[in-house]
Amino acid sequence: MDNTSEQELNDRLSLIERMIAEGRRNTESYGWTFVLWGVAQYVAIGWSAWGHSAWAWPITISVAILATVLLSLSKAGHHAATTLGRAIGSIWMAVATSMFLLFLSLGFSGRLNDQHVFVAVLSAMLGMANGASALILRWRVQFACAIAWWVTAVASCFGTDAQSIVLYLVALFLCQIVFGIYAMMGEVQARKRRARGDA
């Protein structure tokens, strides 16, 4: 009886570990979205700062949304949907929808004038999404990204305008572009391992 219970427990733990690994592989397969959105934000920031265009953010974000949807649809058939993958995707969709509605409303109402509040809220939301994903996937690298976003959120409330934007740009680079490239490299390595295993 004890052996059966121990075997069942080991089987369940093994299943959980496989689900977490699959969830991490699924996230790695979407590493390009981290890079895309990191670059899109840099473009919008640069365009609005040097071009002084009110259209910089709406146009850049609209193009990024369109690119994300089109690329996601093209990749959709390549990966089997898993419960864990849907959970992680749901977290990111909910955060993206919240950010879109909040910042669109604040922008149109004219209440998005305080750079500190913008950086703090945006960073806190990105910290929450990364933190939830990292806790579910037990992924320390992504949790480090969450910590970087949370530090940026808190520090932006106390620093100068220049310090706030520098922290944001650094967190954006590390947590979007570097993490996205890291995830993409993980996907490539996993593909190579699978190819060697199939051969």
In this prediction, residue 32 carries a pLDDT of 93
102-133 pLDDT tens trace: 887 877 777 777 889 889 999 999 999 999 99
Quick one: which of 140, 115, 116 has its CA closest to 130? Answer: 140
Q: Is the pLDDT of residue 52 over 80?
A: no
In this prediction, residue 102 carries a pLDDT of 86
Between 17 and 31, the higher pLDDT residue: 31
Between 34 and 195, the higher pLDDT residue: 34
What counts of helices (H) and strands (E) characterise the chain? 8, 0
Between 198 and 73, the higher pLDDT residue: 73
Residue 160 has phi, psi (to 5 degrees) of -80, 175
In this prediction, residue 199 carries a pLDDT of 52
What is the pTM for the complete model shown?
Answer: 0.83
Q: Is the pLDDT of residue 1 over 50?
A: no
66-84 pLDDT tens trace: 999 899 888 765 555 677 7
Q: Is the pLDDT of residue 158 over 90?
A: yes
Between 81 and 42, the higher pLDDT residue: 42
In this prediction, residue 23 carries a pLDDT of 67
Per-residue pLDDT band for 91 (boundaries 50, 70, 90) equals: very high
Between 179 and 187, the higher pLDDT residue: 179
* Contacts for 72 with CB less than 8 Å, ≥ 6 apart: 30, 33
User: What is the Cα–Cα distance from 107 to 86, expressed in whole angstroms?
Assistant: 31
Which residue reads 């790695």 in tokens? 28
Q: Is the pLDDT of residue 172 over 80?
A: yes
Between 144 and 13, the higher pLDDT residue: 144
